[in-house]
A and B are shown apart, each in its own frame.
Chain A
Amino acid sequence: MAEQKPSTAIEAVESGLAAQGYIASRQIATAVYLSQQIEKPILVEGPAGVGKTELAKAIAAWRGLKMIRLQCYEGLDEAKALYEWKYAKQLLYTQILKDKLGEVLGGAQTLHAALNQLHDFGDVFFSKEFVEPRPLLQALEQPGGCVLLIDEIDKSDAEFESLLLEILSDFQVTIPELGTVSAITPPTVILTSNSERDLGDALKRRCLHLHIGFPEQRLEERIVESRVPNISQTLRRQMVGFIHEIRSLDLKKLPSVSETIDWARVLVLLQASELDTEIVKDTLNVLLKYEADIEAAQPQITTFIAKAARSNVFG
């Protein structure tokens, strides 16, 4: 019974994500299940457009949690990611409270006494009211937990990675003036990366490492089926088969799942009933994003269509 549990739980994750329109492979479902069980973030790597960001959205929708997204870019720092002091508000308040301060301190006889009285007020101007929470702090403050998506972490600087370490391992941040803020409910953290640069070992160590590659033909067909329901079955098979052939070419940018879905939409819009050379030629720019790639693929179209059709007979 106890041994049966994990596999059924993983299937539950799979069907839960499927209900949100995200067809997950077994690997992905296992990763989501494990991250929940042992409270570890997931680092998702893979080529662009295979649904890394989509995974976070699907998890949030499935669990009914809020999703907080932090888009990384070069030069992102803690003031934009974690928290910032509301400087203007602090300055404004000091100006407004000037008179009040004078009143309060008026009773003091000596400078020393005034200073002591001032100390008694504590860090009025460095309290919670003056903190502007940014995505990371917001994620920790959600009472019901949330899905925190740290998107394209590879675009940020190496220093920013180190900033994340405390959050990723302990779900807490330390603000020097306020102390340590711990998560009310540990958020589900998803980091995505396009492998633009190698991430630090310290960061990788704290995460489950999930690589999403291009899906297998069957899986991709299911994805298309869920995303573009009104496409006919034969066309779906043909186009997915065709895309798998295209991926065997040596191209600058291989078409990924998002391109497959776009193409399926286009084909439905054009009311194509099956794949032929003409329609592929006309719509190839949906799949391939570089002129050189299109030129490389052009002469192969007819063979690929034939191959895709043949594989359907047996598949």
Chain B
Amino acid sequence: MRENIHRFFRAARGAGVHVSPAESIDAMRAVAQVGVSDRTILRDALLLTLAKSQDEKLALGDCFDLFFSQPEPRQEQSEADSNDVSEDADQSPSSGEASDASGGSPPAELGPLARMLLSQDRNAITAAIASASGAASLSDIRYSTQRGIFSSRILDAMGLQRLRDDLDELTPTNPALAERLRAALDALREAVRDTVAQGLALYAREEAENLRNEILRNAPLARIERRHVAEMRALIRQIARRLRERYSKPRKRQRRGHLDVRRTLRRNAAWGGIPFLTAWKRKHRDRPKIVALCDVSGSVAQVSDFFLLLIHSLHEVVDDVHSFAFSSHLIEVSDILESKPPEEAMAEIMSKVGFGSSDYGSSLVDFEKEFMSALTPQTTVIVLGDARSNNLDPRADILRRISERSKRLVWLNPEGRLAWGFGDSEMPRYATFCSVVRQCATAQQLERAVSDIVATYQ
């Protein structure tokens, strides 16, 4: 049973429930207390100890039901079972043979698997499959491509070789029996395939998802396939949630416990310097102020989709965010992003200024004319764009003034460094005025960049 519970832990990890060794120890202690005889109590106990949120509880509940719908692989018992069965099988087919009067070779010479199949004892077969999948360590299955190898491993463990030999022997001597055996073998293959598929569903889900997410995180945003866009959005939302959790609550009282001697003395002057009232040191921290300029022109349309999504989430993390979108001209989009759900907001922004050909110069002019007052010495300015200005005047002088007025100017470019400065890219000219220039082509780079920006205000 202990073996089973351990396999269940692995299945639970497969279902996306985080089970650390400490948690599995706790769960084992709980199981030891409640016993395994009552399945509902066992289920409750495992849910209580392993799952840490309502979602996990649901996932784990499903996993539990799926897991225990399989017969338990019992090593010794199944051995005994199959022996019993083979004895039964000895009798029933032979008596059947006798009445059929086909007079073939005595089935007692057949291997155990053949006899089991012929006896059609379904329980014994399922038990045998279960113990064979234990022997083939089915719980190690990770990818769907491994289905074939695990199936054949399980069949081998059940004694497929012997069965083949039996078939070869039987075919000339007793074709009818061989035919029955062949049909039974096909059924067995199917059953094993189902078992492996179930094992894949149980044990491999987490791995597969991790792998996919890992690939997505490092995939260039500009070349995401259409069918991955939804997943990518989910991933960006996850990143935004992480950022929010990490930074939404200001870390307070970092220097608590340091006595501010000067203020204490001053305050207690009335008592002759005896410190009745204490004053503690406090650290003054800037409130984050962010101005984001996002290029939504045709050349970066696909990336800007994700940029906007991230800016949308920035609005939730930081109180003071002004965001602007531009292609040939620039508009403020803070209100749209704040008042609407992400999908709607993005559609509206794109319909207003999106997909044009980009003109950095005139967009910067627009910004200077109307919104320069939004910049203060505490502001971080983030520009998201490829700096491809269609050979129009880049107006780098405005960018210089923006940089002078603000605390920092960060440029995030979806293109690789190699492409900067080639063609109509004005990146080198802009880069001189930026505090930080980063390549920002994948979700991972995007997360790091934004995380660094927010962290400077902590």
Residues on A facing B (Cβ under 8 Å): 2-3, 5-7, 10, 26-27, 30-31, 33-34, 37-38, 40, 45, 75, 77, 87-88, 91, 157-158, 197-198, 201, 204-205, 208-211, 213
Contacts and interface: CB of A to CB of B under 8 A. Distances in A.
B54 A211 contact: yes
B283 interface: no
B20 A205 contact: yes
A204 B33 contact: no
A198 B41 contact: no
A91 B40 contact: no
B109 to A, nearest CB: 45
Nearest to B29: A38
Given A7-B38, A205-B23, A209-B53, A27 B44 contact: yes
Given A204-B52, A208-B49, 7 more contacts: A6-B35, A7-B41, A30-B34, A31-B48, A75-B252, A198-B245, A205-B22
B30 A158 contact: no
Contact of B249 (A158, A204, A205): A158
List the 5 closest pairs (A to B, CB-CB), nearest first.
A30-B44, A204-B52, A6-B34, A3-B37, A37-B33
A210 B52 contact: no
A27 B54 CA distance: 14
Contacts of A27: 44, 47-48
Given A34-B34, A158-B249, A6 B29 contact: no
A215 B211 CA distance: 39
A59 to B, nearest CB: 16
Contacts of A210: 48
10 contacts: A3-B35, A30-B44, A34-B33, A37-B33, A38-B29, A157-B249, A205-B20, A205-B22, A209-B52, A211-B57
Nearest to A46: B54
Contacts of A40: 26
A204 B30 CA distance: 16
The listed residue with most A CB atoms (<10 A of its CB), out of B48, B57, B278, is B48
Contacts, number: 76
Contact of A205 (B41, B44, B52, B53): B52
Given A7-B41, A26-B44, A208-B48, A38 B30 contact: yes
Given A3-B35, A157-B252, A211-B57, A34 B274 contact: no
Contacts of B54: 45, 211, 213
A211 B48 CA distance: 9
A100 to B, nearest CB: 18
B274 A91 contact: yes
Contacts of B12: none
A269 B233 CA distance: 54
Of B45, B53, B57, most A-chain CB atoms within 10 Å:
B45
Q: For chain A, what secondary structure do more than half of its interface residues adopt (helix, strand, loop), or is it mixed?
A: helix
A176 B404 CA distance: 49
A6 B33 contact: yes
A88 B277 CA distance: 10
Contacts of B249: 157-158, 197
B40 A26 contact: yes
B18 to A, nearest CB: 7
A27 B44 CA distance: 6
Interface string B54-77: 100100000000000000000000
B51 interface: yes
A29 to B, nearest CB: 9
Nearest to A2: B35
Interface string B234-260: 000000000001000100110010000
Contacts of B52: 201, 204-205, 209
A133 to B, nearest CB: 20
A201 B274 CA distance: 45
B355 to A, nearest CB: 36
B276 interface: yes
A204 B41 CA distance: 21
Interface in B190-231: none
Given A30-B48, A31-B48, A205-B23, A38 B33 contact: yes
Given A2-B35, A91-B276, A38 B26 contact: yes
A312 to B, nearest CB: 28
A34 B245 CA distance: 32
Interface string B2-28: 000000000000000010101100100
Nearest to A10: B41
A169 B458 CA distance: 31
A40 B253 CA distance: 31
Contacts of B40: 26
Contacts of B33: 6, 33-34, 37-38
A293 to B, nearest CB: 21
A172 to B, nearest CB: 18
Contacts of B41: 6-7, 10, 30
B37 A34 contact: no
Nearest to B30: A34
Nearest to B56: A209
